[in-house]
Structure 1
Amino acid sequence: MTLSADPAIYTDFTGLAALRREARDSGGRDPETLRAVAGQFEALFVNMMLKSMREAKLGEGLLDSQQTEFYQGMFDQQIALEMSKGRGLGLADMLVRQLGGETPPPQRPAPRPAPTPATPHSSLLTPHLPKRTEEANAPAPARTWQPETPQAFIRDLWPHAQRAARRIQADPAVLLAQAALETGWGRSMMTRADGRPAYNLFGIKADGRWDGDTVGARTLEFRGGTMRQEQARFRAYGSPGESFDDYVAFLEASPRYRGALAAASDPARFTAELQRAGYATDPDYAAKIMAIYRSGDYRRAVAAAQ
């Protein structure tokens, strides 16, 4: 049987109903239809999970509006689609086995992620699970710094942003806006195996030039116009100040960012040159930083921190 439902509507109830009808008409015996229904259910489940996570926040954000919520919902649907492709979360496989009466396949060890070359990335990071049993069972100490609000994020990091910005003659507010984008206002920072924050505020990956601590994390990257989930190693720091200092040193040490440094005094040109040099794979990276930077609420919070 040829499936009539397009995978692009996995998070649409109309598409789900169409596949349910096909599954019912086939009596649950068609493996392709069964697999499609299970995959669609998994995508719908992931989208609902992301929506619940978005709603579980402390209050209104600086950039919250009906327009941002609309595009955020579209972005979450795309994440749900990408996460459900291939083996996904395993929920679709479980449904296929239960509904189709299949024998569960033998368990296979998960492959170790290959090392990834060092280039900065876009945001949306999730911590990498500990590799060893003793690390997983070790008690996680309390976080030493995690801002509860965007205002606290700005207030706490403003002195570090000022110091780093002076080195390259940049506006500290644009560096802070970039850090806010990369970490979700400090709420989505990467963590070490023991639960301590890695303080990587600018998404800088680790390569052979880096001899400090590292942390593993999953990241969403744009490849060929498509968003993909990847695994990478990132630099880890002992404090937010170290992250700001290394960010400036990272730009100064790489010839590819000469254009960005030359335009550092102009926030719009600076972020555009960062994107042109390949700092992030997100095609809207510079625009997102500038949207934060130009926000009235953000400007007022920066003024209050000075």
Structure 2
Amino acid sequence: MIGRTDFTDRTAFDSKGLDELKQSARNNSPDAIKGAAQQFEALFMNMMLKSMRQAGGQDGVFDSEQSRMYTSMLDQQLSQTMAKKGVGLADVLVRQLSNNAMNQALEADTGGSPGNPASSASVRGINTYLDNLKFEQMPASAPKTAFTGPNHVREFQEKLTAHAEQASQETGIPAKFMLGQAALESGWGRREIKTADGSSSHNIFGMKATKGWKGKTVDAVTTEYVNGVAQRRVEKFRAYDTYADAFKDYAKLITKNPRYENVIANSKDASSFAQGLQKAGYATDPEYANKLTKIIKNSLST
């Protein structure tokens, strides 16, 4: 047996807290069932709060992707506080989990530890329950969205929105703006830069392999504008193992390179963001800002 662990102050959907709950279950902690039930009650309360906000509408003057993200975080913490006081659901779940564990122990031919067959069955039941709970959780930074538009646009957003939301937290740039830029650079993922064997380089932002780049590279044909005239040339581009790595590298570039200070400062609207990127020299296409603004405003789900 390990010592008593206080799970009541955990933030809602805390994955570390859920892992500790599972560890407590493996060590036969009497708090494991109670903690699992309380986390589920917090999840239930969060769903209620989310439904109430959606019913009330969120399209106000001050509504933005950032405000919705922080509202979601607030709801998660409120749900945890409400679950701590309890609405009765956790008590019902405690009784159910306890009964299920005992029934498994009584029915099992083997698997119970010597002298305490209920112990092993209880651990299996609680951990299965916690696995399901962890699967159901939604991170505050990436709430589910019903994407609209053509199939290729919906698929693009579904694949990359979570990464864009994470990069948004690091840069302060709305996720929608970064998705728009990734869409422009890659043709909604249909013109992604490929490696020599035909696999994806995951370079969704068209990031070139500059002198300071120490990672993998790939050669690709690109269009550059010199004095307004388009020219085709072969350039070295960065290659990543995952799209998450591509968004992390993009976030690093935007936040660390002094060239892009004004991009972050002027990312309150799509047009300013796009114009800032062009002025900073992200792309040589003279129509880059206009193209990006149109994608952000007209093609992406809000």
TM-score (norm: length of structure 2):
0.49
Higher relative contact order (CA 8 A, sep 6+): 1
Q: Point out the structure with the larger helix share.
A: 2
**Higher Cα radius of gyration:** 2
